[in-house]
Structure 1
Amino acid sequence: MNKTIICSTCGTQFLANPGVPEFCPICTDDRQYVPESGQLWTETIELKNRNIKITQLNEQLYALKITPEFAIAQRALLLVSPNGNILWDCIPYLDKPTIDFINNLGGLKAIAFSHPHYYSNMNDWASEFDCPIYIHQNDAEWVPFKTRHTRLWDGNSMQLWDGINIVHIGGHFAGSCVLHVPELTTKGAMLCGDTFNIGRSKQHIAIMYSYPNIIMLPRDEFEKAYKKASHIDFDTIYGAFENQDIEGNAKEIFETSMQRYKDSYAL
């Protein structure tokens, strides 16, 4: 069995054979960071004192988050759907209570991603639930290591089932995506991860090259991403972190926020 190691800053799992990498390639990229204390690594066994908090957001949607917080502290979203459940994004730990909870709901039929910062220990999850991992081809270079579960896809969208689509947006990463779930709410829901970032006031939605380093997107990249997202019908958006849910008027807030970007690029 291959030995693995986990970056303590972003939570991404890498192979430790033949040796531990000097630096995490995801954290040395401008969209992330290596902390001032330097590169730190950990192993799954060191996370055993943590739990996964499960919160129901909707009749068909649950949030999964490691507690106490670890690494980026994002949540994964578990979508329960008649023809198969989907895990949107991932968290770098999986325990037996969570395995049992998901299996009681019918297991997983797929894991899909917004972008590379949330790949985490995706291969452990895919192995446990024996399901494919869907990643856009444009982000293939960021996959730490592939297994038989890895599925790279290309194009503007990938239809799953029950009307659910992975939609390629770009912007934050070349392969950044959202998950569109038309039947989750009255006008549909968008699960966005960090492809878009919901402000604390919930009155603004951001799209940037780097959120922690506050780097704007080039104008042409913004315009391409906005054009793709503008065609999606939704009234609700669920982001990567707790308290990043906008219900009912999300499309209006999205359009207002994107107009601010358009106005700033016009200066």
Structure 2
Amino acid sequence: MDFPICVTCGVQYAGPRPDCPICEDERQYVGWEGQRWTTLEELRGGHRGRVAEEGPGVVGIGTEPSVAIGQRALLLRAPTGNVLWDMVTHIDDDLVRRVNDLGGVSAIAISHPHYYGTMIEWARAFDATVHIHEADRRWVARPDDAVAFWSGDTLELADGLTLINAGVHFAGGQVLHWRDARALFSGDIVQVVDDRDWVSFMYSYPNYIPERPRTVRRALRLLEPYDFDRVYGAWWNKIVYSGGKEAVRRSAERYLSHALDDE
């Protein structure tokens, strides 16, 4: 519980250090009060887990009050074993018990480094492997044998559960397609916006840096073979509830029409 956690991004590091490279990168930021640290022990004093249904076969896992960026994770209750998509920082015995009551966690996959949170704590609590794309290896703040790096464009986690290296936001930015649920789990690689019939694409959200058009086009090509109705974003209720594939296509067209083409 003594491993340091960055207050701004919520990522846990392997040991004390003066800086958080994830926050010093131009896609994030150092808090206005400077670099600050906390620990799981401190968080457990004032936070608790939130578990609530987010869709058919999908359970949201978050923290009250929210920590760092404030995203929630999603537990996909698949017949082949539950997959935890994305990550939160908070974890305690009660939250582990509640997740175990839902069938536990067979595998973990995280969209990008801003959401790595306490992934090693979660992996050890459920004896699960964390699947990260090789292109984001350098951002893993607490190296551990629980992390499995993969390469290429896609990885089949189980029958009908496929990781896709969309490469938006981070070179290893990944989304998860669940065939049987006709759903895409996108974190903020494909960002569900407040008008939930649309999505968007950014290199940096807090610093308003747009993603490169060629990167968005590549992501569209990789997503083309997959059908999905729903798109689950990174926060509670940030969901495209129907027509998800068409929403991604037309959103990309709108984005590209406003972007300065670099090709």
- Displacement after TM superposition at 1:236 (Å): 0.4
Task: Give the residue type in structure 2 aligned to 1:149.
Answer: A
Aligned mates of 2:245, 2:214 — CA distance in 1: 22
State the one-letter code of the partner of 2:22.
Answer: I
Match of 2:117 among 114, 117, 120: 120
Q: CA deviation at 1:249?
A: 1.7
Matches of 2:169 and 2:152 in 1, distance apart? 17
Aligned length: 260
Cα displacement (A) at 1:204: 2.1
Write the distance in 1 (CA, Å) between the matches of 2:225 and 2:17. Answer: 41
Say whether residues 1:259 and 2:258 are aligned partners: no
Among 130, 147, 150, the residue aligned to 2:144: 147
Give the AA of the match of 2:18.
E
- Tell me the CA shift for residue 263 of structure 1: 1.7
Counterparts in 2 of 1:197-208, with a 5 A limit?
A: 197-208=191-202
User: Is residue 242 from structure 1 mapped to residue 239 from structure 2 by the alignment?
Assistant: no
CA distance in 2, matches of 1:52, 1:15: 23
**2:11 paired residue number:** 12
**Which consecutive unaligned segments of at least 5 residues does structure 2 have?**
none
After TM superposition, the structure 1 = structure 2 runs for residues 87-102 of structure 1, keeping only pairs within 5 Å, are: 87-102=84-99
Distance 1:58 1:35 in 2: 34
Please tell me the residue identity of whatever aligns with 1:255. Answer: R
Q: What is aligned with 1:30?
A: 26
Contact 2:54/2:237 (<8 A) preserved:
no
The answer on 1:103 being equivalent to 2:84 is no
TM-score (norm. length: structure 1): 0.93
For normalisation by structure 2, the TM-score amounts to: 0.95
Would the alpha carbon gap of residues 59 and 202 (structure 1) be closer, same or farther in structure 2, given more than 3 Å must change? closer
Distance 1:253 1:106 in 2: 32
Give the alignment partner of residue 50 of structure 2, picking from 35, 50, 53.
Answer: 53
Secondary structure of 1:4's aligned partner: coil
Which AA in structure 2 matches 1:85?
Answer: N
Give the partner amino acid of 2:192: I
Greater alpha carbon shift after TM alignment, 93-102 vs 38-47: 93-102
1:228 aligned partner:
222
Shift of 1:242: 1.3
Is this contact kept in 1: 2:2–2:40, CA < 8 A? no
RMSD: 1.4
Secondary structure of the corresponding residue to residue 202 of structure 2: coil
Of 64, 77, 80, the match for 2:77: 80
Q: Distance in 1 between matches of 2:179 and 2:139?
A: 29
Provide, for residues 66-85 of structure 1, a one-character-per-residue CA deviation record: whole Å limited to 9, x for no partner.
Answer: 10111000000001111211
Q: What secondary structure is seen at the aligned counterpart in 1 of 2:159?
A: coil
Amino acid at match of 1:136: H
Superposed CA offset, 1:129-170 (max 9, x none): 111110000100101122121100011111122311111100
User: CA offsets, 1:85-127, max 9 Å, x none?
Assistant: 1100110011222211221222111110111111000000001
Percent identical among aligned pairs is 37
Tell whether the 8 Å contact from 1:82 to 1:162 is kept in structure 2 after alignment.
Answer: no
Distance 2:183 2:119 in 1: 24
* Counterpart residue type for residue 5 of structure 1: P
The CA deviation at 1:23 is: 1.4
